[in-house]
Structures are given as structure tokens and as C-alpha cells.
Structure 1
Amino acid sequence: MTQPKAPKLRVGFILAPHFTISAFASFLDVLRLAADDGDQSRQINCEWHILSHNGQPVRSSSAVEVRPDAPLARPQDYDYIVVVGGLLKEQVRIGPEYIRFLRDAANRGVPLVALCTAVFLMHEAGLLDGYKCCVSWFHHDDFLETFEGMVPISDQIFVVDRDRLTCSGGTSSAHLAAFLVERHVGRAAAQKSLHIMIIDELQVAEKPQPGLPLELSTRDPLVSRALLRIQQRLDAPEPAENLAKALGVSKRKLERHFQKALNITPSIAAMRIRIAQAKMMIERTDRTIVDIANSTGFCDASHFSRVFSKQEGMAPAAYRQASRLGPADV
């Protein structure tokens, strides 16, 4: 009797309390769709297990619970151990049993993967010392405050540094999973998974994260809070006076902090954020210029076009056409 072939890719998951289900589900579904030639979710090409020391369900940040199906043992049975992080401010640290397991895996040369805020957990456990790591732009400043002297990478969707793989979470988890599927199962399987998930194509690690422009990176907590508030209100920009009031400071104090941290005014920073978001939407979506103008807080498409042209040197429509030319067309 012919023995079934061993899976080409074996993954063990560790779910932190209050883990982010989108990061977990995105990664897992790429494995599931690549595992079987049909649509029966059989673990043929890929195999995965949710690991636990006690078998108790783990509650996600959205209150959905996932029940583990394998003991926390023998890390060498897996090609990768994937840790899924959760809500940073409410995140309960994984127990010492998991830390010992991860250290055992590292000592045995089993690659470790951190999804979303799991990078914080792994760094606290000393498992990222000497490694480059990826952190979402949203948690960049939190990382700097937590780990003094460490500078994470927040302008890529994932980072592969030898046997440590880290990603910013969300749909970047799907792209990291596809990277592993391509490596172990094949490119066709990886593309198939993403296409079924309505994700257009494989993205390389260096693909920029959507978020704040890199030149607006700062360690000033007041400026960071202001930038985040600006980004959260792109479709309804606030005057500097209102922004300062919402942050509980005077307009003059806010402007002083921006000048010292970034050498620009809050208004200029806000405009750069809005244009950066508009550029991302022009490059990656088929939304109309009118829709993009509305989504980024411009009064009309004409005003948006004038501002965009002044900053980028070309109209939005021309920028879209140029961004979609292949290397052979340039």
C-alpha cells in the first residue's frame, strides 16, 4: 500500500490571548487553499496545528474563540512556528511554557514567525536579538518606547532575516504565508491561494506599508498623537486649532513641537499625509479621482488635482498611468 506523501509545509501556531483574528485567518487561509488541489481543505501539501499546553480555547480580540488541536511539544515536527499577537495595550503575555517552547524551537533551528504584535512578545523573550524585524507603522512608536535603542522596519509589509520572519499584520500575513507556500510548495499554489482570496498578486517583502510617510517618523509623543489623529480623519481634515484642542494643548505648543520634531507645520504634515494616501489609492485601486479626492478631504476633484500636480509634478490621472507602466514601458 502506497504511503501518503508528507506535507511540504508544516506550521504550528501559537495564539496569544486576545490575538488578532484577521492576521491568523489570513495566514491560515493561504495555507488551506494551497494544501489541496481541489476545494476540500485537505491537509495534503500543507499541514497546520494550533498548539497549546492545556488544550483550552484561546479568545481573540474580536471575542471569537479558537480551540487548539495539538500539544506544545516537539517543535522539530514543524517547518515554522508562527506566533499570532493581539491588542497591544490589552495583550496578556504568553505563559512561560510557550517561551520555553519557542526557545527550544530556536535552539533546534526551527524558524520563528511573528504576526502583528507578536514581534513584541518575541522581542521580550530575547528571540529577536540581533535580528531585523517588521512592525506596523501604527505601532512603530510603541516599539521604540518599549525597546530603547531598537529601530524596527515599518516601511515594508514583512521582513525575512535568516530564521526569523516578521510582518505588520492584516493582509500582510497573507503575503508572508504566500511567500512560504511559494518557497515550499510552489509559486502556482501561492498565486492560487491569493487569487481565491481576491488578492491580486504576490507581494515582495519590500512592498511599502500603507501609512504615514517615512519623513514624518518621530519620537515626539505629542506629534505622534497628532499624526495619528490626522490620519484617522483624512476625509474631514481639522484646522490646526481644532487639532490642538482635541489633543489638550494650545495651537502654539503644537506648532512648536512639530517645528522641532519635523521642521514643518501641522498643516503641511496633514497635507503630506493626505497626498500620500491619495497616491496609494491611485496606485493600488481603480477608484475614481473624484472618489479619491473626497476620501482624502479635498473639497472637489479640481482642487485635489491642483494640489496633487503642484506636489507631484503631474496630474492624478497621469500619475496613475505612469505608476502602472511596466519596466519595459518606461
Structure 2
Amino acid sequence: MCTRSIESAADTGGKIRFGIVLLPNFTLTAFSGFVDLLRLASDEGDMSRPVRCSWTVVGPSLVPVRASCGIQITPWTTYEEGESFDYVVVVGGLLHSGPSAGEATLQFIRAAARTSATLVGICTGAFALMRAGVMDGYRTCVSWFHYWDFLERFPRAEERNLVADRLFVIDGRRITCSGGRASIDVAAAILLRHVEATIVQKALRILLVDDAQKGNAPQPYPPGLEPATHPKVRRAILLMEQHVGGPLSLAELARRLDVSARQLERLFLAETGKSPNAYGRQIRIRTAAWLLTSSDGTVADIATSCGFSDASHLGREFRKEFGESPHAYRVARTQSRTAASVQV
């Protein structure tokens, strides 16, 4: 695999070439959002020709790669037969459901890092870049949801270089992205290096995106996470969000944060006015309320998925929070939503 200089490609009017690596269980939204913006910005009209840039899906073999949703995509070529690329984009997805990047993929990433190519990690693609050893000294952006997964897998990583409160980070020839819709923003930021802004804006409008977000735009945190919150409290809340179905004890939270249980309690009271246990309970109650109005799950199933022992337990806690039973809450919100849709 070889690469050409990005600057020379742009200066000579040549195509900007993207090599896209799909990891097992990759996120389809992240991949399709990135590629679709390239497609729309690459040509005029509705032709979808690779005029301004081109993209190739590469892999260790031509065996189809399964996305997390079950759709399979076959690489167009192998690493050995791949053409030259200006950007090597690694798209990740699920972390805990099977094999991740194989040794051939890691070697491909390392080879790209020795050239002038820019490496792009989308979603958990950043984990593969870390495994390949090509992120030393670079800032790495991950989703807030995968913050602790990252630190657990890479304990020697410098925490000061880990960014979990921004959509994406561009650091020299390394670009990492939190995933999801932010993949469109990353594609826009890359294209703005090489083509006119009006072309990129047109592509965004076709995708019904008002405007691309900048890298310093904040990730959409779950309820309760505010930028001014103490870092230890913010991380504890992230852990609570990640373990809604199996709540961590106060002792385990404190251990993971490297503080004492008493210190964590003091921080929570100062920042939120609640104890860690009370705050965690509120997160689980709010999650249950959301599931009651956005899913068809039974109250018993929702109770289990939100860390309550049974439907009765959820019912007691729900009445304390909302003054009504889960069933009444679901019926009232469903009727309200139906009435609003009829009026429209």
C-alpha cells in the first residue's frame, strides 16, 4: 500500500483518495454518513461520479464484513492490491461482540502511518489505531459512552490526550471521531481542506444537515452531565449510564475512579445535591420512563433492563418520582402523543 502527498493531490487538482477499512460489527450509520458526503461533494448534479474524490473499501480479503445491524459489505480490494490513498479511514462499531481488527489490518494501519497518509478513526476505529500503536503523542477522540472502555483497554494511554466531550479531533495527520452523525461532520471538515465550501454546503443540504458541526462542538451527553461538573462526578455518571441494567455499588464506583467512597459522596453532594446512589436511581428511573414511551417492552422487562428487581420494585420507585404508576405514565403519554398527531 502506498500513499501520495495530500498537498500535491490538492495542488494538482487530482482526486482525494480515501481507503476505507470496515472492522467487524462496524456501525453502518457512521460508514454511510461519511461515504455519502464524499459522494455528494464529489460530482455535480445527481451523477454520484468520483470526480473530486474517490473511495475504496479495502480489507484483508474479499470476505464480506458484517455491520452491527447485520448488513454485510464486501471489500472491493485487498490491502496488498489497494491503490494509493490520501486518507485511510477505519470505521469501528461494537466492542464486545466478537473479533475486532485482525493482525493484517493492524499491519496495514502501521504501514499507512509510515507514509504521508492521514489516518482517520471513526467510532471505535480509534481503538484499532491505538492497538496498531500509531496514536502516541496524538489526541484521541472517543464517545463518552466508550471512555472507560478505552482506559481499561489501554491503561498506558495518557488520559490528558483522551477527548470524550467533543465530536471529533483533528491532530495533524490523525483524525478521530466519536461516531454516529459526527462522521458526516468529519467528512465535511476533511473536504473543506480540498474543495470549495459551497460544494460541501450543498452536499450537507442534500443530506438535510443544516450545517456541519465543528470539532469543538460538544457531544450530546445524557441528562445530568454538564460541562462544569467535576471530572470525577462526570465520569461516575458516565459509568452509571453504561451500567443501567446492573448498577455498580458505591464502592465499585469509587474504586474505578480512584477515590474513596466518602470523597465521591462529598463530590456528588456538592455538584448535584444528591448522593451517588440517589443520582444513579434517578438515571435508572428516567431511562425506564423513556423506555415506557419509546418501546413496547413490558413493565417487567423494562424493570429488569433498568436494574430493578421486578415490576413492583420499579412501580414503587416510579411513583416516588412521577406520582403515578408506570402503566398510567405510559397510557397518558401515548394518548397525548396520539392527540398531538391527530391535530397535525
> Under a length normalisation based on structure 2, what TM-score does the superposition of the two structures give?
0.66
Residue 259 of structure 1 aligns with an amino acid whose one-letter code is: E
Q: Which residue of 2 aligns with 1:11?
A: 18
Aligned residue among 37, 41, 46 for 2:44: 37
Aligned to 2:133, the other structure's residue is in SS state: coil
Q: 1:261 to 1:66 in 2, by over 3 A?
A: farther
- The yes-or-no answer on 1:184 pairing with 2:194 is yes
Aligned residue among 127, 132, 141 for 2:148: 141
Residue 86 of structure 2 aligns with an amino acid whose one-letter code is: D
1:1-330 paired onto structure 2 within 5 Å? 7-73=14-80, 77-149=84-156, 150-151=158-159, 152-211=162-221, 212-214=225-227, 215=229, 217-218=231-232, 224-228=238-242, 247=247, 249=249, 258-259=264-265, 262-264=268-270, 265-266=275-276
Aligned to 2:80, the other structure's residue is in SS state: coil
Aligned to 2:90, the other structure's residue is in SS state: strand
C-alpha distance in structure 2 between counterparts of 1:222 and 1:271, whole Å: 13
Q: 1:248 to 1:18 in 2, by over 3 A?
A: closer
Which 5+ residue runs of structure 2 have no aligned equivalent? Answer: 1-11, 255-260, 284-320, 323-344
Residue 207 of structure 2 aligns with an amino acid whose one-letter code is: M
C-alpha distance in structure 2 between counterparts of 1:143 and 1:23, whole Å: 19
Shift of 1:91: 4.7
Shift of 1:223: 5.5
CA contact (8 A) 1:8 1:184 kept: no
Q: 1:205 to 1:31 in 2, by over 3 A?
A: same
C-alpha distance in structure 1 between counterparts of 2:30 and 2:41, whole Å: 17
Cα deviation per residue 1:22-51 (whole Å; 9 max; x = unaligned)?
A: 111110111011111111211111100000
Which of 54-63 and 143-152 deviates more? 143-152
Q: Which residue of 2 aligns with 1:303?
A: none
CA contact (8 A) 1:75 1:104 kept: no
Aligned to 1:184, the other structure's residue is in SS state: coil
Cα deviation per residue 1:106-149 (whole Å; 9 max; x = unaligned)?
A: 11121100000111111011011111010101111111222225
Aligned to 1:177, the other structure's residue is in SS state: helix
Shift of 1:99: 1.5
Q: 1:166 to 1:174 in 2, by over 3 A?
A: same
Q: Which residue of 2 aligns with 1:290?
A: none
C-alpha distance in structure 2 between counterparts of 1:249 and 1:52, whole Å: 42
Shift of 1:270: 7.2
Paired residues in the alignment total: 258
Q: 1:220 to 1:270 in 2, by over 3 A?
A: closer
Shift of 1:218: 3.5
C-alpha distance in structure 1 between counterparts of 2:235 and 2:138, whole Å: 26
Q: Which residue of 1 aligns with 2:288?
A: none
CA contact (8 A) 2:165 2:219 kept: yes
Q: 1:220 to 1:185 in 2, by over 3 A?
A: closer
CA contact (8 A) 1:36 1:45 kept: yes
Residue 16 of structure 1 aligns with an amino acid whose one-letter code is: L
Q: 1:272 to 1:153 in 2, by over 3 A?
A: farther
Aligned to 2:215, the other structure's residue is in SS state: coil
CA contact (8 A) 1:119 1:135 kept: yes
CA contact (8 A) 1:11 1:80 kept: yes
Shift of 1:227: 4.1
Shift of 1:258: 4.3
C-alpha distance in structure 1 between counterparts of 2:203 and 2:278, whole Å: 41
Q: 1:43 to 1:262 in 2, by over 3 A?
A: same
Aligned to 1:247, the other structure's residue is in SS state: coil
Which 5+ residue runs of structure 1 have no aligned equivalent? Answer: 231-242, 274-297, 300-330
What is the root-mean-square deviation in Å for CA atoms of aligned residues? 3.4
Shift of 1:247: 2.3
Shift of 1:155: 1.3
C-alpha distance in structure 2 between counterparts of 1:108 and 1:134, whole Å: 22
Shift of 1:72: 1.0
CA contact (8 A) 1:222 1:257 kept: no
CA contact (8 A) 2:26 2:67 kept: yes
Aligned to 2:140, the other structure's residue is in SS state: coil
Shift of 1:219: 8.7
Aligned to 2:24, the other structure's residue is in SS state: coil
C-alpha distance in structure 2 between counterparts of 1:248 and 1:267, whole Å: 9
